Amino acid sequence: MENAPESQLGFLRSKDADAGRIARSLLPWAAAVLAGLALRIWMLTELFEVQGDSLVYGGIAKNLLQRGVYAYNSETTGALRITLIRLPGYPLFLAACFRLFGMENYAAAVYIQIGLDLVACLLLADFAMRIAPPALKRRAAMATLWLAALCPFTSDYSGDPLTESLTIFGITLALWAMARFREAPGWKYALCFTFAVTLAAILRPDGPLVAVALAPAMVAGLPRGAIASSKLALMAAVCVALALAPFGGWAWRNWKTFHVFQPLAPRNTTDPGELAYPGWERWVKTWSLDYASTCDIYWSVPDGPFNVDDLPSRAFDTPAQKAETEAIAAAYEKNDEKFTPALDARFARLAALRVRNNPLRYYLWLPLGRLLDMTLRPRVENMDIDLDWWVYDNHPHETVFCWAYAALNVLYLALGIAGLSMRPRLWMPMAAYFVMRYALLATIGGPEDRYTLEFFPMLCAWGGVAIAAAMQRKHLHLEPAG
């Protein structure tokens, strides 16, 4: 090397300098991913549980592998029940994990989810860079990466065997593919987008909203000549056919098995022939406002206790309504806590009376209140924290923690709104997704915080743009004049 020509030494030094610059530029990205990994592993060790819906999905996955049937086992009798109450996406994912890593190995499934969640953070950073103004691109990408990697609300669910984490991955991949297709229209990004929206839709019945909101932005306003119209039409036809194919197969299976047309999952999560309780559902919607109501009352009935004393005062407009509710509860208890069509009819009459007496409450104020509850609650439903977390005297440490968690949630919302107000590229389809999803959520009677988790990919991207703009303003302010 001592005898090497000076030009060669200069070239080697230049390569070493380039490698050093690349390593330094990648260091913040690696630090964010490692911090996100540490957060998710810690949450997994502290909060991991397999219960409720996880057991339903896992039971279907086991029966697929062991018996070749799409069914779960009844909690009360253990009998096998052929079903359509859950879409096949997550059971198939669990079945693949069980086949590869051992039956009921839910831990393997969540490790995969954690990996995909971190990939989603990187995709979201790249997406933010593509929608931010030119001067903000790098800062927006880095800010978005840190916001997504350290978001405790989505990190929590990446360690739970539930559909939320994979759905968030699907939404993020769809956003990224949409932005890339806008820059370079072609089959690669079109098929990637198709896979992403199909994944979101096959996991949850509200998943198709992603395609409805984002797909028009794939083609609307493309520069003239960016892609031939004939090629675009062929691409659209193929992608639509691929996206609909799984639901065609699912609908055909449901028609053969149950003789019903059901391309998604039923809204009331009941199988054909199983008793439904529309009167009870409507009556609950005349007073239900928060997650505590969902846990204490809505999930308990039928087949569980119905304590009138647990109802909030807004469940009764008059003493006569309270007396009728108590009479229905007594009849329900006398019937061994089993619901009957006659009891449901009594709830239907009570609900109709309450709606007639105060239609604004039923159609406007309570739906808005439920949306606020799902948006602003501290998001501690997966933690061992009392539902009445706000009662400081009962558990001061939990109350303080919950208020801090609620403040962090509000911070993410505020950053997202600030970024949206700057109208970055592709803000309209993302805003359309918010509007459509909120409109759907306004129709449910049992609010849950997790129903608004799907907003966080967009909130993080918008928030990253807002932070980048603030950093740019500070940099320009501190830069010396002249």
pLDDT tens digit sequence for 428-479: 999 999 999 999 999 999 999 999 999 999 999 999 999 999 999 876 665 5
Instruction: Tell me the average pLDDT across 292-314.
Output: 89
Residue 77's pLDDT band (cuts 50, 70, 90): confident
Tokens read off for 291: 């997650």
How close are the terminal C-alpha atoms of the chain, in Å?
46
- Rounded-to-integer distance, Cα 226 and Cα 185, Å: 7
Q: What is the structure's pLDDT at 482?
A: 45
Residue 3 confidence (pLDDT) above 60? no
pLDDT tens column, 78-111: 789 999 999 999 999 999 999 999 999 999 999 9
Residue 24 confidence (pLDDT) above 80? no
Residue 394's pLDDT band (cuts 50, 70, 90): confident
178-to-75, 194, 427, 453 alpha-carbon distances in Å: 43, 10, 12, 20
Residue 7 confidence (pLDDT) above 80? no
Q: What is the structure's pLDDT at 222?
A: 84
Residue 17 confidence (pLDDT) above 70? no
Q: What is the structure's pLDDT at 476?
A: 67
User: Which residues contact residue 258 at a Cβ distance below 8 angstroms, ignoring those fewer than 6 apart?
Assistant: 84, 271, 272, 273
pLDDT tens column, 349-370: 999 999 999 999 999 999 999 9
Strands annotated E in 47-96: 71-73, 80-82
Higher pLDDT, 436 or 228: 436
Q: What is the structure's pLDDT at 26?
A: 81
The mean-pLDDT minimum among 73-77, 292-296, 393-397, 433-437 falls in: 73-77
Instruction: Tell me the average pLDDT across 315-327.
Output: 95
Which range scores top for mean pLDDT: 81-85, 190-194, 339-343, 388-392? Answer: 190-194
312: helix, strand or coil: coil
Q: What is the structure's pLDDT at 14?
A: 58
445: helix, strand or coil: coil
pLDDT tens column, 230-267: 999 999 999 999 999 999 999 999 999 999 999 999 98
Average pLDDT along the chain: 92
Which residue type, as a one-letter code, is found at position 41? I
Q: Which H or E element spans position 34?
A: helix 6-47
Higher pLDDT, 5 or 122: 122
- Rounded-to-integer distance, Cα 297 and Cα 311, Å: 8
- Rounded-to-integer distance, Cα 39 and Cα 114, Å: 10
Q: Is the dihedral of CA 209, 210, 212, 213 positive or negative?
A: positive
User: Which residues contact residue 411 at a Cβ distance below 8 angstroms, ignoring those fewer than 6 apart?
Assistant: none
Q: Is the dihedral of CA 184, 185, 186, 187 positive or negative?
A: positive
- Rounded-to-integer distance, Cα 110 and Cα 50, Å: 11
Contact 116, 157 (CB under 8 A): no
Q: What is the structure's pLDDT at 461?
A: 98
Contact 353, 321 (CB under 8 A): yes
Tokens read off for 314: 């807004």
* Percent of the chain with pLDDT strictly greater than 90: 77
Q: What is the DSSP string of 112-165?
A: HHHHHHHHHHHHHHHHHHHHS-GGGHHHHHHHHHHHHHT-HHHHHHHTSSSSHH
84-to-200, 266, 269, 290 alpha-carbon distances in Å: 18, 8, 8, 28
Q: Is-above-0.85 flag for pTM?
A: yes
Higher pLDDT, 103 or 301: 103
- Rounded-to-integer distance, Cα 301 and Cα 231, Å: 54
Instruction: Tell me the average pLDDT across 337-353.
Output: 92
Contact 465, 141 (CB under 8 A): no
- Rounded-to-integer distance, Cα 68 and Cα 247, Å: 19
